[in-house]
Amino acid sequence: MRVRLATGRVALFGAMLAVCLLALVPLRLVLGVAGVGELGLTARQVTGSLWGGRLVEARFGDVALGDAKARLAFWPLLIGRARVELDGDGVRPLHGALTVGRHGFAVDDMTASLLTGQLFAPLPVTALDLDDTSVHFRDGQCETADGRVRVTLAGEAAGVPLPPVLSGPARCEAGALLLPLASAAGTETATLRVFGDGRYRVEFALRAMDPTVAVRLERAGFVGGAQGYRLAVEGRF
Q: What's the half-sphere exposure (Cβ side, CA atoms, 13 Å) at 90? A: 18
Name the least confident of 30-44, 70-84, 144-158, 191-205.
Answer: 30-44
Q: What is the pLDDT of residues 149-180, one digit of tens each?
A: 999 998 887 777 888 999 999 999 999 999 99
* Residue of 36, 45, 114 whose CA lies nearest to 81: 36
State whether 45 and 138 are in the same domain: no
Which pLDDT value is given to residue 225?
Answer: 80
**What is the number of domains present in the chain?**
2
State whether 105 and 156 are in the same domain: no
The yes-or-no verdict on residue 20 having pLDDT over 70 is: no
Q: Which of 111, 143, 158 is the last residue of a domain?
A: 111
Q: What is the pLDDT of residues 25-52, one digit of tens each?
A: 677 777 776 677 777 788 888 888 877 8
Which residues form the domain of 21? Answer: 1-111
Q: Which of 111, 132, 149 is the last residue of a domain?
A: 111
pLDDT-based confidence at residue 109 (cuts at 50, 70, 90): very high
State whether 60 and 20 are in the same domain: yes
Contact 156, 124 (CB under 8 A): yes
Q: Which of 92, 111, 130 is the last residue of a domain?
A: 111
State whether 69 and 132 are in the same domain: no
Q: Which residues touch 61 (CB under 8 Å, ≥6 apart)?
A: 40, 119, 198, 236, 237
Q: What is the CA radius of gyration of the chain?
A: 23
| Mean pLDDT along residues 172-196 | 94
